[in-house]
Amino acid sequence: MTGAIDPALLIASLMVAATPLVLAAIGELVVEKAGVLNLGVEGMMIVGAICGFAIAVESGSPLAGFVAAAAGGAVLSLLFGVLTQVLLSNQVATGLALTLFGLGISSLMGQSYVGIKPPGTPRLDLGPLSDLPFLGTALFSHDWVVYFSIALTAAVWWFLNRSRAGLTLRAVGENHDAAHALGIKVIAVRLMAIAFGGACAGLGGAYLSLVRVPQWTEGMTAGAGWIALAIVVFGAWRAGRVLLGAYLFGGVTVLQLNLQAAGSALPVEYLSMSPYLITIAVLVVMSARRGRARLGAPASLGRVFHAAS
Amino acid sequence: MIALERRPEPSRAWQYATPLLAVALTMVAGGLMFAALGKDPFAAIRTIFWDPLFHPQFAAFSRPQLLVKAGPLILIAIGLSLGFRAGVWNIGAEGQYIVGALCGAAAGLALYPSDSVLIFPMMVLAGALGGWAWAMIPAILKTRFNTNEILVSLLLVYVAENLMASLAVGALRNPEGGGFPGSRNLAQWDAASNPELIAGTGMHWGVAAAFIAVILAYVLLARHLTGFHIRLTGEAPRAARFAGVSPARLVIFCLGVSGALAGLAGLFEVTGPAGQISIDFNTGYGFTAIIVAFLGRLHPVGILLAGLLMALTYIGGELASFMLGIPAAAIQAFQGMLLFFLLAVDVLTNYRIRLGRREVAG
């Protein structure tokens, strides 16, 4: 039955499935490049999902929803930022707290939004490009967020590799003591990176609730935030490879959904667990191949910074 | 200017005081949240923390629930705390809890309807083994390939949930259940049930196991070499390496113990309070246990108290949603808040707050 799937539609839905992962992972990439491990991506995504959904429904404007989602994600991430950077708490524990709290507060906020349809996010009209025979359907008939996520990836690549501010951020992530000695405001840089990561995760969550699904259900991110974290590892902390990784996982998700719809011989539950299993397999391959050196991971990742003087 | 100054060693006084301070702050912030929801904050806090134990009408029902809910939380949190102390982050206890329940239930159901007295002990063993095996996946991947155990253990929760959904409608489905998803009711099958041991207390085998785990963990950490290695690795990783502590063996040990305990918790739950494997069997104990472990300062006795307190918020939350119409999700947010405040005030344990002008580095 799988032969009946139109490849152009498959690519199109792959891009849609990958977009929330691209957004969340690229945000987390910047956070980790600054030397901070924020495990709360899942929590920030789900809060973004409900903030975006609520505001889009109330205002009727999906754009306002996305802005609210970014704001919601950033606010939540700053909670993490203050705890880990100012109050010097353990980053792993605080990230987990962020996820647990985010899941709780989002289902509280979402009580009255269950079963509602959000306003649609229109497709961009790219004129003649959208009319191209195969590519038009596959690549050029999406909403603006899909293209925004790709542009954001490019911007983050440029920022990290080509800009002075990006160099500062990477210095903070590689050796915060040295950066501090050079007069860089380590905590300020990290707080900004954390807020950016939160905003991106929020956008990714809103894309799920406003476009991908589109409706609000409790716990709807279903591990997407954790997969985004894995994609950063998969991408070896490089923007381009993070994008590639997200599209790969988008492909896996779409493929298993299509197999489910096509009535494959494998039970639905086994297909549903496949993205998680593949994520684990990829993590294993990446970590085994790189061995002890862990090339690419910022050296100060997850370490508490406390300026002694 | 406010500055933080590292204490030479953690303050013992604050170690005891911070959990209490965090609970107090959570009550204030939670009260504000309830007020924002349009409920009387004082009534809400009283309903959550006081009424389950002392309300003339409901306490008789809710008091035994305290142990029923605290049992699995304590059992799982004790296991997690060993790893957290050594820097081994098993956050997939929820998955190990599910797989423990599945393996235990499957082992028992394979012999249905035997009434041998050996059925229940065998199921307990199978449950512990199931949880252990599920935790061995991240453990072996960590030691063999250096794969991040945080991500692997967490992702395996989603795998376990799907596995359970598949078994609940497939291999483990009750053949006499009229096609409904869910296994036979184990609580109603005498050989496999985990009954209340002392009527009216909520005490079942899982609670007994939790108390035993508290004692054993205390002995392990205070008296045993492995316990010393765990503490050493957490507090001074370099010193631990020089002392010849094998990090790989510690990872295997910590993940194995926490997985087995989570599996046990799942087995006791499925044979007792839950009764059967169904799609919505798991209710997040594995995640709440993370909060319990931290709230208890990763100390066995602390975890015992924290587990009881967290169980109280569960029962109080149910009571509050029933009596005051406070949504169940508010309680989840409330529990998350507690962990936040705990992590925030923990700064007082390790740092001294200095008010006044910051000195220029010389």
**pLDDT over 50 at B12, yes or no:** yes
Closest CA of chain B from A87, distance in Å: 6
B348, closest residue in chain A (CA to CA):
A87
Q: How far apart are the C-alpha atoms of A187 and A220, rounded to whole Å? A: 33
B341, closest residue in chain A (CA to CA):
A83
**pLDDT over 80 at B179, yes or no:** no
Q: How far apart are the C-alpha atoms of A76 and A52, rounded to whole Å? A: 14
CB contact under 8 A, A97 and B340: yes
Q: Does residue B91 sit at the A interface (CB-CB below 8 Å)?
A: yes
pLDDT score of A55:
92
**pLDDT over 60 at A242, yes or no:** yes
Which residues in chain A have Cβ-Cβ distances shorter than 8 Å to B344?
83, 87, 89
pLDDT score of A1:
40
Confidence grade of residue A290 (pLDDT, cut at 50, 70, 90): low
Spatial CA neighbour of B244 closest among B225, B222, B221: B225
Q: List the 154-193 stretch of B: residues with Cβ below 8 A of A.
A: 154-159, 162-163, 165-166, 170
Q: List the 265-284 stretch of A: residues with Cβ below 8 A of B.
A: 267-270, 272-273, 276-277, 279-280, 283-284
Which residues in chain B have Cβ-Cβ distances shorter than 8 Å to A79?
340
Closest CB to A284 among B141, B154, B166: B141
Would you say the pTM of this structure is higher than 0.90?
Answer: no
Which residues in chain B have Cβ-Cβ distances shorter than 8 Å to A223?
154-155, 157-158
Interface size A-B, in CB pairs within 8 Å, comes to: 139
For residue A239, what are the β-bridge partners? none
A107, closest residue in chain B (CA to CA):
B329
Please provide the CATH number assigned to the domain covering A2-290: 1.10.3470
Q: Does residue B305 sit at the A interface (CB-CB below 8 Å)?
A: no
Q: What is the pLDDT of residues A298-309, one digit of tens each?
A: 888 878 887 764
Q: What is the pLDDT of residues B275-284, one digit of tens each?
A: 888 888 878 8
CB contact under 8 A, B335 and A233: no
Substitution target from B154, B156, B279, B357 for chain A, most A beta carbons within 10 A: B154
Which residues in chain A have Cβ-Cβ distances shorter than 8 Å to B152?
280, 283
Q: How far apart are the C-alpha atoms of B310 and B74, rounded to whole Å? A: 10
pLDDT score of A175:
86
Q: Go through chain B and tell me how many residues it has.
A: 362
| Mean per-residue pLDDT, A41-50 | 94
Which residues in chain A have Cβ-Cβ distances shorter than 8 Å to B347?
87-89
pLDDT score of A295:
59
pLDDT score of A67:
93
Q: How far apart are the C-alpha atoms of B120 and A69, rounded to whole Å? A: 50
Contact partners, residue A168, CB within 8 Å, separation at least 6: A179, A184, A189
More confident call, B5 vs B128: B128
Substitution target from B161, B291, B340, B359 for chain A, most A beta carbons within 10 A: B340
Closest CA of chain B from A22, distance in Å: 18
For B355, the enclosing helix (H) or strand (E) is strand B351-355
Q: List the 60-79 stretch of A: residues with Cβ below 8 A of B.
A: 79
Closest CB to A103 among B141, B332, B351: B332
Q: What is the pLDDT of residues B315-357, one digit of tens each?
A: 888 888 888 888 888 888 888 888 888 888 888 888 887 776 5
Q: How far apart are the C-alpha atoms of B345 and B335, rounded to whole Å? A: 16
**pLDDT over 80 at B245, yes or no:** yes
pLDDT score of B47:
85
pLDDT score of B215:
92
pLDDT score of B361:
46
Per-residue DSSP letters for B190-249?
Answer: GGG----SSTTT---HHHHHHHHHHHHHHHHHHH-HHHHHHHHHHH-HHHHHHTT--HHH
Closest CB to A107 among B162, B329, B359: B329
Q: List the 269-288 stretch of B: residues with Cβ below 8 A of A.
A: 287-288
Q: Does residue B148 sit at the A interface (CB-CB below 8 Å)?
A: yes
Closest CA of chain A from B98, distance in Å: 15
**pLDDT over 80 at B188, yes or no:** no
**pLDDT over 80 at A87, yes or no:** yes
Closest CB to B335 among A92, A104, A309: A104
Closest CA of chain B from A287, distance in Å: 5
A91, closest residue in chain B (CA to CA):
B343
Which residues in chain A have Cβ-Cβ distances shorter than 8 Å to B157?
223
CB contact under 8 A, B330 and A233: no
Q: Does residue B32 sit at the A interface (CB-CB below 8 Å)?
A: no
| Mean per-residue pLDDT, A8-13 | 83
pLDDT score of B259:
95
Confidence grade of residue B211 (pLDDT, cut at 50, 70, 90): very high
**pLDDT over 70 at B220, yes or no:** yes
| Mean per-residue pLDDT, B213-227 | 89
More confident call, B265 vs B7: B265
**pLDDT over 90 at B93, yes or no:** yes
| Mean per-residue pLDDT, A44-67 | 91
Q: How far apart are the C-alpha atoms of B35 and B41, rounded to whole Å? A: 5
Q: List the 225-264 stretch of A: residues with Cβ below 8 A of B.
A: 226-227, 229-230, 233
C-beta of residue A91 within 8 angstroms of C-beta of residue A101 = no
Which residues in chain A have Cβ-Cβ distances shorter than 8 Å to B280?
none
As a 3-state breakdown, chain A gives helix, strand, coil percent values, each rounded to 5, of 75, 0, 25
Q: Does residue B325 sit at the A interface (CB-CB below 8 Å)?
A: no
pLDDT score of A116:
84
Percent of chain A with pLDDT over 90: 31
For residue A123, what are the β-bridge partners? A143
Closest CA of chain B from A79, distance in Å: 9
Q: How far apart are the C-alpha atoms of A302 and B148, rounded to whole Å? A: 13
Confidence grade of residue A292 (pLDDT, cut at 50, 70, 90): very low
Confidence grade of residue A150 (pLDDT, cut at 50, 70, 90): very high
| Mean per-residue pLDDT, A143-154 | 90
**pLDDT over 80 at A128, yes or no:** no
Ranked by mean pLDDT, the top range of B7-11, B119-123, B213-217, B351-355 is: B213-217
**pLDDT over 60 at A2, yes or no:** no
Closest CA of chain A from B209, distance in Å: 27
Confidence grade of residue A102 (pLDDT, cut at 50, 70, 90): very high
pLDDT score of B134:
95
Closest CA of chain B from A43, distance in Å: 11
Helix, strand, or coil here: B5? strand
Average pLDDT score over chain B: 85
Average pLDDT score over chain A: 86
| Domains (range + CATH), chain B | 38-326 (1.10.3470)
From the number of C-beta atoms within 10 Å of its C-beta (0-12, 13-18, 19+), residue B346 rates as buried
**pLDDT over 60 at A220, yes or no:** yes
| Mean per-residue pLDDT, B231-241 | 82
**pLDDT over 80 at A94, yes or no:** yes
CB contact under 8 A, B343 and A97: yes
